[in-house]
Each structure stands twice: as C-alpha cells, then as structure tokens.
Amino acid sequence: MGSQEPLIGEHEHQRLPGEERDALLAALWRSMAILEFSADGTILDANDNFLAMLGYRRDDVVGQHHRMLCDPTYAGTADYQQFWQRLRQGEIIAGTLQRRHVDGTTVWLESLCSPILDAQGQLAKVISVAADISSHIDDSRHSNSVLSALNRSLGVVELSSEGRILAANHNYLKTMEYLADDLIGQPHSILCTSDYAASEQYAAFWHDVSRGRFFSGRFPRRTRNGRTIWWEATYSPLLDAQGQTERVICIGNDVTYRVTREQSDREYLHLLSLGINETDNAVIITDDQNRIVFHNTGFTRMLGFESQQVLGKLPSELFAGHPAVIKSIERCHGEMLEGRSFHTEDLIHDLHEQPLWMSAVVNPILDATGRLINTVCVMTDITNTKVHEVLQYRVLNAMARDSSLAEQMNLLCEEVERVAPEVIASILRVDEQGRLHTLAGPSLPEAYSRAIDGVQMGPLVGSCGTAAFTGQTVIVEDIEHDPHWTDYKVLALSHGLHACWSTPIKSSDGKVIGTFAFYYRQPRQPSAFHHLLVDAGLHLCALAIEREASRARIHQLAFYDSLTGLPNRSLLLVQAGQAIASAQRNHSTVAVMFIDLDRFKQVNDSLGHQAGDELLRTVATRLQSQARRSDIVGRLSGDEFVVVLTQYDTQHLTEVVKRIQERLAMPCHINGTLLNPSASIGVAIFPDNGNDIETLLHRADIAMYQAKSINRGRFSFFSEEMNSMAQERLALESALRDALRGGDFELHYQPQVNLHDHSLHGVEALARWFHPQLGNISPGRFIPIAEECGLVGELGKWALEEACFQLSDWRRRGIRVPSISVNLSATNFHDLELPQFVTGLLRRYSLAPTDLTLEITETVLMDTNPSTNQTIAAVHALGIPLAMDDFGTGYSSLGYLRKLPVSELKLDQSFVRDMARDEAVRALTNAVIRIGESLKLIVVAEGVEDAEQYELLIEQGCDVAQGYYFSRPMSADDLEHWVRDYRVGQACVWGREPASGT
C-alpha cells in the first residue's frame, strides 16, 4: 500500500483554502472515478466516470451497501472489517483494490479512500477517488502500490491561468524528459512546437481555458530533447470565489504509441484499399445471406457491372441465363456453408455477354461459433491462358497419337466452335502452285467446301484467297457489299455466310502455308475473344502443317546416319531382318560382320574430333566400295560398323573378309596426317550362329572382341566356345563388382631383398581374390576385366588403403617392414584427386611418403589422357617414390626414363628367367642394371626362382630381388612370421633350395 503522490511545486506542503479545494475536487470529479459513501457503508453518490468504469447506473448503486462492489468472499473477511476500522480511525487508505463489474468480472482500481470526520472526530462519510488500472495488473501479483500504478498511467501538471507551470508530478516530468527545477516556472508553450506556440490557435486555446472552459483531447507536445509526443489530457480550470480561473489542472497520459499505431493502421488500410482496387483481379464480398456487400473497381473493369447493379444482389442474379455458371455458384455456396474454400475455372459472360474465362478462389469467413458471416471471392481473368490450353489440349494429343493432319485441324475447328458457337471455323492449305485446299471446316456446308477447293489465291479472291495472296489479315464485315467477294458472294450468301475474317498461316521462314478463317451468319466484326482464339489457333495450324510437310524428310533422316550417310541401327536392323527372312525362305546363308576400328580414341584425342569424323567417313566409303548391291553396310554407333553379306559363296567368305580388312588398313591422309587405320572384325553366320539379326550382331560382337583380345587388326569367326567365354567373362564381371562391395579381396605380400646386405628392402602388395564358387581367380583374369568394366580405379584405391593400413598395423606391433609398394593402373592416374587421396591415407595411418612406393607400367607412361602427367607430377611432388614395373618389355620405356620421376626400375621376370641359359639375355639384364646405376635408380629383379639366378644378379650388381627363391606372396599373418624368422645368414639356405610357400 502506498500514499498518493503529491504535486511537485511551489505549494507542495501548504494546505489549500476551501474554495481552491472545492475547485480541485470539481476538476477531479470530471476527470477521475469518484464514489461517496456513508460511515455505515451506504453509497451516497457516484460520478459518471465511476459508473462507466464498473458498468452500473446510478439507481443501481445509490442506497446500496458498499459491499455490493466487492467480491462476496472478500466482503465477509477480517480484511474487509479492518478496512472499515481504519477508515473510522480517520486513516487515509490508498492502494490497489479489486471491485466487481456489473457483469461479475473483476476490475482493478488504484484508489484513494479519504475519511471525512465530524466535529466529534467520528466518521461522517468517505470520498473514494479511483482509476481503472486493470490493463496494468498481473493477476498473479497483487502487491503493486497506488503510486507505481499512477506513475505508469497518469501525468499531472498544475498551470497558472496565464499558462505558467506551477507544479508537475513524477509521471509528467518523466514523460516530458524534464527535471522539476528545469520545468517549474516555465511557460506552457515550452512544451509545444514553436509554430503552434506562436499561432492564433494556441492563443485562443489559453483564452478559452482562462475563462473557465474545459478541454479534453489529444495534443502534440515537445519533450526537452525535441521529440514530439502525443498527450491525451484533460485541462480543468480551477475557479476562485469570483468565478475567475485561478489555476488549471492538466491530467493526462502519453498516447504516442497509440496515435502512431492508429496512423499506421490508417496508412495500411489506405494501401490495402489501393491494392484491392488497383489490382486487375475482381474482388467481391458477400454477407451471411450470400448477398454482395462489397466489390472492388477491378470487378467493374473485368465484368462491366456498376455498384447499383451489384450491391445487395445474389451472385447468381448477375449470371442469369448461364446455367453452368449458376450451378458452379450454388456448389460454391454449399462449400462455404461447410467452412471449406472453393476454387473453380469457368467460362462466364460479362455485362455485355462477352465470354471470358475466370479463375475464382472463394474463402469463407466464420465467427467464433463456426457460422458463416462473409465470403471473399477473388476472380482472375485467365482467358488468354485458357484459350491456348483448351485449343492445344486436343490438337497436341492428336499430334501425339500421330493422327492425320485433317483430323488435327478438324479438332481445332470443333474446339473453337464449342467455346464460340457464333463462329464457323475453316482451315485451308496453300500448295506449291498457290491453290487453296480445304483441310478442315466441320460446320461449313459441304457443297461450299467443294466449290472453293483448288481455287487459285489472288488479290480479290474472297477473304482467304486474298489473305493467302497478300500475307495480311482480311476482315470482311459484310460479304454482300465487299469487293473482295464480288466473284464469290453468291456462293457464300447462298449458304448463309455473311461475314468472314481470314488470317494467313505462315511457316517459320515467313512463307504463307494456309489460312485460318472465321465465318459468321450475320454481318459483324470479330470480337476480342475471337482474336484470342485466332492467336492461339494460328500457332497450332502452323505447327501441324509444317510438321506434316516435314514428316517425310524427318522419316528419311531418322533412318540414316548424318555423318556417313550409311543406314543407322534402326534401318540396318530392318534391312538385315528382311535379308535373313529371304535367306530363310531360300535356304541360303547370311554373314554378319561386326567391324570395330582400332585405336580410334587416340585419333580423336591427338588430332581432334574433326579428324575422327573424317576417318569415319573414309571407312564408310571404303566399306561401300567393297560391298555388292545386295549387301548391306551400316553404322551402329561411334566407330562400330556392320556389313551384312548376302548371296555369297561360303567357300570364299574368308577371302571376302580379308579383302575388306585389307582395304580398311590402307594408309590415308586425315587433316594432313598420314594414318594407318586398322579394324578388328567378328563374323557370325545365319543360320549356324543365330536365327535373327540381334543374336547374330551380338555373336559377331563377341567374335570381334575375341579377335581384338588376341591382337588388333585381326578377324575371327564366332564359335560356341567364344560364347561360353563371353558368358564366363560376364559372370566374372558381376562377381568382381560384388567382391569389391563385399570385401572379398585381400592383399598378399612378397618380400623384396636387398642383394648388397641381404636386408629386407620392402614388400610388394598383390591383390588376391577367392570366390566361394569359382575358387581362386588369378590377377591375370580379373585385372583385365576390371580395366574393361571401369572398376580398376576403385580396385587400386582399395589396394592403397589396405596396404597403408597393414603397414601402419605392422609398425604399431613392432613388425619391421621398411616400405610397401602398390601397383596402380592408368585409370588411377586419370584421377586428379589421387594425390589428395594418398595424402589423406598417409596422414590417417601416420606414414611418411617414402614408406609407400607406387608401381606404374609402360601403359601409364604412354597414356594420352591429359590428366596422367599432371597426376604423376603431383604424386612425385609429395615425395612418394615411383617404380617402373615390367621394364624392358616395351619399345618406348627408355625414352620415358629421362623425363619421368621414377626412382626404381623393376626388371621383368622374362629376362631373369632366361639369363642363366641365354648369354644375350644376360647381356640385356646387365645393360639394364648399368642404366639404373648411371641414372641412380634402384633396380629390382622380379621372378628370382633359383640360386643360379640369384648369384648372377649379385655378380651383375643388381640392387634388389624378389621371387619364389625368397618367398611366394603371403598373407599378412604369414609375412609377420617370415619377417621374425628372417636372418641375413639365410642367404646360404636360399642357395640350396627355393623357400616354401610360406
């Protein structure tokens, strides 16, 4: 509980004279809620503010006990009795009170109850001054004092009659951002804007206040910092005994936020009004009786209805005479009553009966009980879009079904006439001689269509003939009196045709290929809706006519290869099928040759695709020159060709194939470069190898693959053994994919021994694959398959990670393996991310770059992929050693040694195997070791199997050796035992017999 805050000013501790007190009371009576009750609690009077605050009439409360205003549970408590005891003792009670509103709800008041005592000091009556602070009260906390509530809600300032500030409470000072000493004594105008303070309006305001006039309203005021606020206040003059204004009490509140919000709301409503009225959409709102209570200007623009024709009407009344629209409106109203939104697209008619397509979205507005009180409908004109959609749907579907041009055009005319029944649509086609031919006119009299078919276009040949001749639209409103129809009006009028609008149909290059015409049964012009129909239909007409004209050409192109002019796969299959059917009837044979150019990719990569195309054309020409009239030559795809030999002598088939292969292998100049092309050929024979062309092609492909696998530039005839091999290869490929996914591969490791000090130089990781059904599959079988099906790169990455993991594990467990080498394919070096991948492995397994050696073969060095050299250089830059595997088996290895960053040469086992019994081979191995010595490269001899080879290699100064003489490739566990048991002195053991498999 708190006491009332005094006014701060010059009369702060002085008792006011009786007259002034009465005047102040009168001001408070007008601005505050005041209740007067007797000592026994009977209510004597209440002002209008109090009655309005609690919702009572004066007759409801006067004469009743004060407890009627309290909660019944409170009125019977000791607290209520103590309230009266304090009043009888003359104590002023101020604080936050709860009182009952007439509707039973609780109203929170900040109240000041002042007891009035008689001459004997007895309680005569009580005056209660209160303010409604319900909006500031948190029902969970009842301890707010009167002072804090008043400081939140009211500001009070006392002014002299001349407008000088005498006193102000804390709320007022805080609102105006002043200290009391800075504001007391200042003129009231200091709180106003300079323009207003100097205005006649302000002078008139004080003139009226000084003469006792009461003012209440919102006033702009300026704070000390120059900020403008809105002050909602009551100015109450206090009059002296002579009725003159002595002082003015201003009680008010800062309502800047409310004023700003109201202004924002007004601006929002203004913008909302602009948005609703300026949109192209039509908006209507109906009431709970489904009568229109609002429409925007867009509704008038779209449909032509004015307010007096719309407001108060049912929507169905606007479209009387259009049953389909009325049915849609009724369905919509039913959805609204169920509280559901509704969307429809309908063809409607405006005030002037002009058709338009409208998309309407209708939403219900429901009250708290779920009862429909309004609907809001937004309509969008979709005529242009819908016209195209309606016309295109059936016509494009007909095109998709490959229906005839006449059917497509008749469908278009029928759709036009369905949405515009007043129109008779017609489409004519113009031939190369300029004559008109009827394509479509389902509603035109048949006699009329026959009469105009074949008419020559010209400048005065009706609407269509003239439009076709001039390439311009021709509108004839009245056929009977228009010169364009002089020679044809009798024909037209006799069939009830009185107006005609014709538009030329033009091809993509601007040539007139037809006309699109609307006939009418009475003289008239086309409407805007008709223009939309023609705009949409013209495109379809041109598309259909051009499509028909191009079909023969397209059909021809579809069956021939555009580069070589040979039959493509589609035509080849048809022609070959026919040849096989004929051979079957005649009991003869057919040979199918599958031809694949060798190293064609290298031509493309080195000389460019233009050179590759020229080579393909050269091959096509050579094949055609070798084929007989009855033979079929075609191109399947890429560098694959097919020759189907019919009516040939089986005894001379091999000679024919040889002759074709020799012709293809003749040198040729491509873009100034001499090429020696070659081709691998597979041959399958009907009926021995198959009864249909697909089977024969597949088996010829198998034979070609077999020929290419032996050596390029060869040919091979299909056999069942080849088919078995192909099936086996396919099964291996599938198993290989599963093995990579399922982890069926494992690495074995073969030691590499330093021949100078007999220490362990390192180990080579070798992939091994055991299949549950196929058993052990050698690398010689699965590596080529992995290369062909694109899995060798994935296999190489697996081997790298597995090898790094194993070396790290050995190091962790004290198994001393100096380094590990891994074989990678050319595909791995196409991957520019290989260096990053290897770096990640070394970091993950805490290995140094020199712990890993990557072995590359000559195929990697000769690879033409531009990424290869870049990747090799990046790997070398990481400090990872590179070893050239199988050195000496290729013709170009020596040339690459001088420019590639290899640190090891691996002498191929074919040299090591024969060096003991072939002096020439021994000389070659010695030469390779000397090359390595001079280039400071480590030479590793592979395939060392006996003591004699071992001794010769030591004698020649070879650095490192590996092979069965030391150990076969072993599992990781077996290698651990080998390393632990390994001693330098074991060299003498190797001299007696090869080591065992473990």
**Across all residues in the chain, what is the average pLDDT?**
84
**What is the per-residue pLDDT for 267?**
82
**What is the per-residue pLDDT for 989?**
45
Give a three-class secondary structure readout of 359-402.
Answer: EEEEEEEECCCCCEEEEEEEEEECHHHHHHHHHHHHHHHHHHCC
Structure tokens at 629: 């009239």
The candidate with the shortest Cα–Cα distance to 292, out of 277, 282, 302, is 282
Structure tokens at 985: 């002195």
**What is the per-residue pLDDT for 983?**
57
**What is the per-residue pLDDT for 608?**
84
**What is the per-residue pLDDT for 934?**
87
**What is the per-residue pLDDT for 391?**
80
Strand order in the sheet with 93-100: 43-46, 33-38, 123-132, 106-117, 93-100
**What is the per-residue pLDDT for 383?**
77
**What is the per-residue pLDDT for 152?**
55
Q: 675 - beta bridge partners?
A: 668
Residue 633 parent element (H or E) = strand 632-637
**What is the per-residue pLDDT for 724?**
55
**What is the per-residue pLDDT for 992?**
38
Structure tokens at 829: 């070096």
How confident is the model over 881-923, as pLDDT tens digits?
999 887 766 544 566 666 678 889 888 888 898 888 888 888 8
This prediction has a pTM of: 0.39
User: Which amino acid is present at 228?
Assistant: T
Please check whether residue 966 is in contact with residue 984, taking contact to mean a CB–CB distance below 8 angstroms. Answer: no
How confident is the model over 26-74, as pLDDT tens digits?
666 777 889 999 999 999 999 888 898 899 999 989 999 988 998 887 8
The candidate with the shortest Cα–Cα distance to 188, out of 212, 159, 226, 211, is 159
Hey, what long-range contacts does 877-881 have (CB within 8 A, 24 or more apart)?
Answer: 877/835, 878/835, 878/838, 878/839, 878/849, 879/848, 879/849, 879/850, 880/838, 880/849, 880/850, 880/852, 880/853, 880/854, 881/849, 881/850, 881/852, 881/853, 881/854
Structure tokens at 131: 């303010």
- Segments of 713-851 assigned E as strands: 715-717, 745-754, 760-771, 775-777, 820-823
Q: Which residues of the chain have pLDDT under 50?
A: 1-16, 138-147, 891-892, 984-985, 987-998
